[in-house]
Amino acid sequence: MATNVPQDIQEIWQMDLDHVIHPFQDFESFKETGSDIMSKSEGSHIFDAYGNKLLDGCAGLWCVNIGYGRKEMAAAIAEQVVDLAYYSTFGQLTTPPTAKFAAKLAEYAPGKLNHIMYSTGGSMANDTAIRMVHYYWNAKGQPNRKKIISRVDAYHGMTYLAAGLTGIEFDRIGFDQEEEIIHHVSVPNVYRPRDGMSPEELCDFLVQELDDKIQELGPENVAAFIAEPIMGAGGVLVPPEGYHKRTQDVCRKYGVLTISDEVVTGFGRLGHIFASEPVFGLTPDIITSAKGISSGYLPLAATIVTDEIYDTISAPREDGGIYSTGFTYAGHPVCCAAGLKNLEIIENEDICGHVLKVGPYFEEQLKTLMDLPLVGDVRGKCFMMCVENVGNKETKEILPPEARVGDRIAKHAQERGALVRPIGHLNVLSPPLIMTTDEIDFLVSTLRASIEATQDDLTREGIWKG
């Protein structure tokens, strides 16, 4: 760390280095440089402990949708802490925010998704969905329906089962996987389609592949298909037109349940509280939600299920068993109060309307980066975007991992006052949904300068010939 840093900041840096195991830690570089310390925030900006103001192109981790430093959120949270900081929601106990927020979620969720099981993170929401699906099929008298189909490059979290659903190869290195229940089909990647297929051909292929996979596993053994409407951490992959509707039709044909993981796409990121139906024509059996549900102010997640699933899991069992599962902090009153206030802010400020209006401008401006030699693709929708950096635009060949192209661009951007998230050779942009066109202009011009600086570095170091 820099030498002219106040003593207390140095101590924090040292405590972190000595004691924190960070998620997704590259221990080698961590041990070399430690962590950047982020300490304050306002609107779309973060201030690090060294006084630098940074435009946050990541909304934390796709989550601070309403932006930072909202006093109304602080007041709602404080009020609830004083009224009732915690009570259990096990069995027949509830709290006012727990019930009110569930009713709000049911109001916004499509179709007959009217019942909410709470948890505190996206991984837990997905784990809960799978446990519930298994319980559902047992109750239906179809106990063989246990297999879950997910997709290569999907990201569904990092609890044991959610990590199994996640299909990103790099995240599996060195870990064990659940392989009995979970199976994967191909990724809908139109930038890197298999065998150079057109988007239409790719869509036909993927729909048929899912059908074949269900048949191979035996429809009587398949419980559910899980998919993000737009794949996030796997590379912000927007599927070919009609993909979701057609895969849902395949699932319905075989009685397979559908789970739409809206942990990232929900709460305004694509201009709707839930994107499944308005953007993709989907009416899933289950929606999982987290992140923007509370804009990251407090940990909160929801598994939202249909009347039919609810009626099935709530019917009395002959063996006397009950739906014995849940978490201490399910429906936590303070987190639900934060959820209610977050939703109220989204509604009152018409944040979804802002995203629908400004989102296309963001897409258009980012696409201007396509003239840079290093940029192979710019894709995404509204406030969920990604730049894919390549070594060769024609062949789409990726630079070797040691080029650390995404990291370098992110570092250059941070030095220039903006945060963009590196994922391998990609840079992901998922800003707070309140971002203005001026801030978008700054973000895009900073990214351009950072990619150019990276091109210069790579050329100078002989890693890239342009």
Ligand X SMILES: Cc1ncc(COP(=O)(O)O)c(C=O)c1O
262: nearest Cα among 236, 285, 229, 294: 229
Given 206, 256, 264, 287, the residue binding ligand X (CB under 6 A): 264
Given 97, 167, 232, 235, the residue binding ligand X (CB under 6 A): 232
- Residues numbered 147 to 206 that lie near ligand X (CB under 6 A) are 155-157
CA-CA-CA-CA dihedral for 25, 330, 273, 57, to nearest 10:
-20
Size of the site for ligand X (CB under 6 A): 14
Using rule CB under 6 A, residue 390 touches ligand X: no
Please identify, using beta-carbon distances, which residue of 266 and 333 lies nearer to ligand X: 266
How near is the Cβ of 294 to ligand X at its closest, in Å? 11
Rounded CA separation 227/100 (Å): 28
The enclosing H or E element of 54 equals strand 53-56
Using Cβ positions, the residue closest to ligand X within the complex turns out to be 122
Please identify, using beta-carbon distances, which residue of 351 and 384 lies nearer to ligand X: 384
Place of tokens 């018409």: 350
Rounded CA separation 276/418 (Å): 31
352: nearest Cα among 420, 298, 275, 287: 275
Please identify, using beta-carbon distances, which residue of 56 and 228 lies nearer to ligand X: 228
How near is the Cβ of 292 to ligand X at its closest, in Å? 11
57: nearest Cα among 412, 424, 294, 455: 412
Which residue blocks in 218-372 are alpha helix, DSSP H?
243-253, 276-280, 307-314, 333-348, 351-367
Contact between 62 and 430 under an 8 Å Cβ cutoff? The reply is: yes
Place of tokens 């401006």: 365
Using rule CB under 6 A, residue 127 touches ligand X: no
Point out which span in 132-140, 243-251, 258-266, 269-277 binds ligand X (CB under 6 A). Answer: 258-266
Given 102, 148, 233, 403, the residue binding ligand X (CB under 6 A): 233
Given 56, 153, 211, 228, the residue binding ligand X (CB under 6 A): 228
Q: Where are the beta strands (DSSP E) in 354-403?
A: 375-381, 384-389
Please identify, using beta-carbon distances, which residue of 228 and 457 lies nearer to ligand X: 228
Sheet with 38-42: strands ordered across = 38-42, 45-48, 53-56, 418-419
How near is the Cβ of 32 to ligand X at its closest, in Å? 26
Please identify, using beta-carbon distances, which residue of 303 and 455 lies nearer to ligand X: 303
Using rule CB under 6 A, residue 290 touches ligand X: yes
Point out which span in 14-22, 228-236, 275-283, 346-354 binds ligand X (CB under 6 A). Answer: 228-236
Point out which span in 90-98, 118-126, 207-215, 402-410 binds ligand X (CB under 6 A). Answer: 118-126
Rounded CA separation 237/385 (Å): 9
Contacts with ligand X by CB under 6 A lie at 121-123, 126, 155-157, 228, 232-233, 261, 263-264, 290
